[in-house]
Structure 1
């Protein structure tokens, strides 16, 4: 009974968050997000070896969301058995992955997903920054705060080393370097889902246009710096130099649009992440049909205008 009430409450909260997005945006984003998720699941589930990527990918997504939950400090006070509720919630979210794996007869991977996903509920939340860390201010930390703060929560350096080693070891496999670059791009994209305090806007620029330009330069520069070794390994494999360069451009476009989506709905974190999910789905689908490419161009123009208009309400003088 308590679990049912908790799940009902979570559904109401999600419904209100989606309502804040607006019915028109929701109508446009829902097919894109569902189409991208479905295509990714089917593509990986039907491969003999790639389907093993689904359990760890689902675990990383659940872990990332679990660490950022704002109610982890409240739940132990009102419900000592709240971990079981979270486990049931994460297991329900794993339903599409389980369905895709079982549809193609991958029973071992499905059992791994069924057993591992609920365990995320027992992982600790992200730790608050200590006073010692707050005193260690610098110009670099202020300018590249997404990377500094994001990789403090997620071991980005270790993930990058693992992806680089895996790509080097399996560079002759056609999909491994591609998946490594794609995974790193999506991981970098998650760094731009949390809005910074309004006071930090003054540290970046003196106008909305200057702020957006500098944020895009920092995001693109760090992405190119970290993704270049992975792309070079990809170019030496089956993808070739042309395919690697095209994938490189794809990653830069995605990171740039995620930055624009962040400031288009600043400082509403829920709207930012929902819009970024739709943008990611649109970029993933852009290469499949021409209509998605046209929608991507329209979305990019809309995000540029919306972000400038949103930031214009803040004073930079």
Structure 2
């Protein structure tokens, strides 16, 4: 792929992203942009302030870019329509990593800044995530109707859960260790709800948007409750007690509900859903600062996502 082809690809991507952001709406874009921008700026400033922690930024950015790259639905299309799509993807991912690299440069971290861009560009050569054939798939511990959890189980989610349980038990004498393990378990579930299912899958069952949403939220909360029970037991046995554990579980349930609703609020646009989910995580973490304004914002976001997801799915209603 030559320079002209790379530029044409980047212009095409910019138009697609611009159209999706226009669908998001200017006021939602401003709200999400401010929340995500402030959260990312604070995280980058904290990491770049010390030489040791600044080296954590390149792999973190690379993992973020790789998670989106491997789930891209247009990789096969690009391979068929472009002779060499990897340079164009590398240029796109380098541009995505540029803000993080500039933040590192502002603190004089030249090595981590260059590595951030290089690792992000190298993600373009990773293969796409592929689903196994029916004969090779392992039997899942989750029911097929909870397909997000079935997919996560086949991607090693339970291995991560076992690791978090081990960390929780090891740090059981403190309240922070088990609590962070429980929050980390919730954050590991975010990618499960980041990719919308194909609309024919909804067409066969979607007679009532409210019933569909109740089912998705219900299955998510059920399996989160079952998997988080051992983590919560360890947390309750420590300094946090049962009251603190119940409060944290309630917070996790609200955030998980909003993540599921955000998936369908902009269905079937994966980018818009993932931006909304990122905003949900930022708003959810913000209320831990004990500022009542963030609690009001969380309630407003919950009601807004409930209304918009139901309204969005009504376009795909099948009677």
Q: Same fold (TM over 0.5)?
A: yes
* Structure 2 counterpart of 1:147: 149
Aligned pair in 2 of structure 1 residues 80, 183: CA closer, same or farther (>3 Å)?
A: farther
Residue in structure 1 matched with residue 73 of structure 2 by the alignment: 70
Cα offsets for 1:123-179 (capped at 9, x unmatched)? 110114535479x999921x1111113444x43123223333444456678866555
Aligned twin of 1:86: 89
Task: Indicate the residue corresponding to 2:128 in structure 1.
Answer: 125
* 1:302 aligned residue: 304
Gaps of 5+ in 1: none
Superposed, 1:151-162 pairs within 5 Å as 151-152=153-154, 154-162=155-163
* Distance change >3 Å, CA 233–CA 36, structure 1 → 2: farther
The residue number in structure 2 matching 1:219 is 220
How many Å separate the matches in 2 of 1:16 and 1:295?
27
CA RMSD of aligned residues (A): 3.7
C-alpha separation between the residues in 2 aligned to 1:286 and 1:145? Answer: 30
Does the alignment pair 1:251 with 2:252?
Answer: yes
How much does 1:24 deviate? Answer: 2.8
**In 2, distance between residues paired with 1:312 and 1:64?**
30
Report the Cα distance in structure 2 between the residues aligned to 1:104 and 1:250, rounded to whole angstroms.
35
User: Please, what TM-score do these two structures have when normalized by structure 1?
Assistant: 0.79
CA contact (8 A) 1:208 1:311 kept: yes
Match of 2:19 among 16, 20, 45: 16
Aligned pairs for 1:37-186 within 5 A = 37-46=40-49, 53-103=56-106, 113-130=116-133, 132=135, 140-141=143-144, 143-152=145-154, 154-169=155-170, 177-186=178-187
Map Cα deviations across residues 275-300 of structure 1 (whole Å, 9 max, x no partner).
22322222222333332221221121
- Normalising to structure 2: TM-score of the pair? 0.79
Q: Distance in 2 between matches of 1:68 and 1:76?
A: 15
In 1, distance between residues paired with 2:24 and 2:14?
Answer: 16
Specify the SS of the correspondent of 2:196. Answer: coil
Question: What's the CA shift for 1:19?
Answer: 1.3
Tell me the distance in 2 between the aligned counterparts of 1:215 and 1:74.
30
